[in-house]
Amino acid sequence: MLTDKRLIRSILKKGSNQAANELIRRYYDDLYFYLYRQVGNGDDALDLTQEVFIAALKGLSSYDDRKSSFRTWLFRIGTHKVIDARRKVKMTWLELKDVEWVEEKDFDQSLYQKELLEAINQYVTSFRPEIQEIFQLRAYGELSFPEIASLLAQKEERIKAQYYRLIKKIREEFRDYE
């Protein structure tokens, strides 16, 4: 199996569609689920996944494997796409036939969790984009603090401090949720 570095080199030097397809195949599921956990909608996550890969392939010459892994770089692009998408949000209505029903006993808990997650995501958008990015990479991308620090070219201690300050504010803001 070719390394990411070799695939990227092949795309940049030869314009290899086969290498591009392999790179997309390798990270598609991880990126899709990372985006889905943030937007909560499959169609939106699919659209964002496509946008991220298009942006990544267009900007591939700017990728530096000494700063982060390709996966981490993709997640960072994804984070920016989610932030942009949230800025453009407009209300859409679902038809009842499109709703997937759950057992009644699970419905309240499921609804509560979704409402809480949406409320937390909305709350996080009130912070600077840099803070949102750290939160999303850690909470949804499940990246380690060293990976985030490397990706953002900041000290790990600073990343941790910002993340834990935000978590404290989230806990304070949502302490009444039970």
Please state the domain extents for the chain: 4-173
pLDDT at residue 107 in the model: 52
User: Per-residue pLDDT averaged across 91-113, rounded?
Assistant: 53
Residue type, 134: I
User: Per-residue pLDDT averaged across 77-105, rounded?
Assistant: 65
pLDDT at residue 90 in the model: 56
pLDDT at residue 23 in the model: 93
Q: Which residues lie below 8 Å from residue 52, measured CB to CB, with a gap of 6+?
A: 31, 35, 74, 77, 78, 81
The C-alpha atoms of residue 171 and residue 65 are separated, in whole angstroms, by 36
pLDDT at residue 109 in the model: 60
pLDDT at residue 89 in the model: 63
pLDDT at residue 155 in the model: 93
pLDDT at 5 over 50: yes
pLDDT bucket at 176, cuts 50 / 70 / 90: confident
Given a contact cutoff of 8 angstroms between Cβ atoms, the answer to whether 57 and 20 are in contact is yes
User: Per-residue pLDDT averaged across 107-128, rounded?
Assistant: 75
pLDDT at residue 96 in the model: 46
Q: Architecture of 4-173 per CATH?
A: Orthogonal Bundle (1.10)
pTM of the model: 0.61
